[in-house]
Structure 1
Amino acid sequence: MGTDSNLLTQQQSGPQVLGIDLGGTAIKLGRFLEDGTCLQSLTVPTPQPATPEAVVEAIADAVTACGKSEVKAIGFGTPGPVDAAGRIVRVAINLAGWKDVPLADLLEAKTGLPTIMANDANCAGLGEAWLGAGRRFSNMILLTLGTGVGGAIILDGKLFTGHQGAGGELGLITLNPDGPECNSGNRGSFEQYVSVQAIRRRTGLEPEDLGRRAKAGDREALEFWESYGRDLGVGLASLIYVLTPEAIIIGGGVSASAEFFFPTAMAEINRRVLPSSRALLQLLVAELGNQAGMVGAAKLAWEKFLNYS
């Protein structure tokens, strides 16, 4: 099956769930205890073409490979919006032919396990809130700075998804009404200033290159990151006024250079946001890396299992 498996030697029993993170090139699975212990992780290639039918088959095979005698539920993260009930994938970004796919039903029929879904950014937020940089906070925002900008909102310890499950699209708020066009139909969205694509457009370079140059003391790279931090801080200021989080967690590939843009981002927040709305606010780098989606999907599954057990 072309898998990369990591089975921990310590044998533990008791109820378990599977967290699954679907990506364009790989599907990550993890088998978790209720305390967050990962007993096994598995990565399988995403079928090409990644039709819903092929993906369901690949996941079913992987679930069997993980062993499911103690598994009580599946949590699933998908790259795109999901309906409010966590049953239907509205669209899966970068996967052809995915529109209103009843994926939870399909997986339940194939595996016999109750299944719940959320989009991948929401799963990453849940993961960081459960076992990562947000574990000390009840109210937090996660922002993933990658090819696009994903977001997740945790309020009173619960994932907020809003009406029809479409809440938390934090990268699509307007930063500049006359700015670059966005795939969403907006202009000048937050994403158009802080995503990897925005960095490439502004500099002709990759974030990793700019990070290396900044570490070496390159003045232009350092000045770019300061400018980037100001844009990030401006967008975060609007979110802080609405949500007054205890913490903002920054993930995604761009976060590797956080040391160069966090200071100006915080300075911009302090300049724009009333102290009463940012009291004790912490700006932190995500801790779980590309495992966050899988971990958060497992948390989704635990919540479903505990609610129905």
Structure 2
Amino acid sequence: MLGQRVLTAIVLLAVLAATLALHNPWWFVALLAVGAACTCWEWLRLTVAQPPARVLCVGVAAMLLAVMLWAGWAWLVGQPAGMDLAAVVLQFLVPAVALIWLLGVTAAVVRGRADAPPASLVWSLFSVPAIFAAWSVLSLTFMVRGAWFVISLLALVWVADIAAYFAGRAFGKHKLAPRVSPGKTIEGAVAGIVAVVLWVWASSFWDGSFGQALIERLGITLALPAAALLGAISIVGDLFESLLKRRAGRKDSSALLPGHGGVYDRLDAILPVAPFALLLSGVLS
């Protein structure tokens, strides 16, 4: 199992590195779109009713993929309709999605109703704007700010996850959300948030990083609490997927990534972090 997990990770990193190394940003944007569409399919499999309604999951994911590929092309070539869409996304969709993550999703995670029925019209409807908003943020910042900005932002989530995992195993004694994810601890969550703060501060010394943009806009005294907020919201995204999986009686969102589960399992934290990161850093405003 470990060997399979490592092999999958190597392949994924190689594909990611290859798209980042290409001079044409289209390939990275398209790769993100494929990952986002897979995430949509997996999310809907957890929140829609049993067949025949579940056959709609593939159709919705396919339509979302088509929209994302068109939008990515339109943004890259400066197509007017695409620019209008980008303005709507940045001014309205991203703030709305961030508000739902902060209030609606956080409230659901705190309630921890893992025994509720898996089918949920509300969370099914939220999947498309939530995923499209995160994809748009990553794609547009990549086009405007470059690969290092996006990688330093993604690393924020990776750092939080790694720190929470190892600190939880070493020091975890108090359960964070036992009804949702029994393995997560308060000690691990605190370590993850601290690690995000340290990463934002350390990465700010590299030009073009997310940390630098955040500190330039907010100043060090506000940027570090903002980083802590991003660390906390990444935990909310992780716990939200765990809640959906518990309701659906699934261990993983799918088996698309051998040894890792599904694509949603790898992107659950970045979905809420991306819109908040954009709003806090203001890099596209």
> Relative contact order (C-alpha < 8 Å, sep 6+): which is higher?
2
TM-score, structure 1 length as denominator? 0.28
Q: Which has the higher strand share?
A: 1
The structure number with the bigger radius of gyration is: 1
The answer to which structure has the higher helix fraction is 2
TM-score where L is the length of structure 2: 0.29
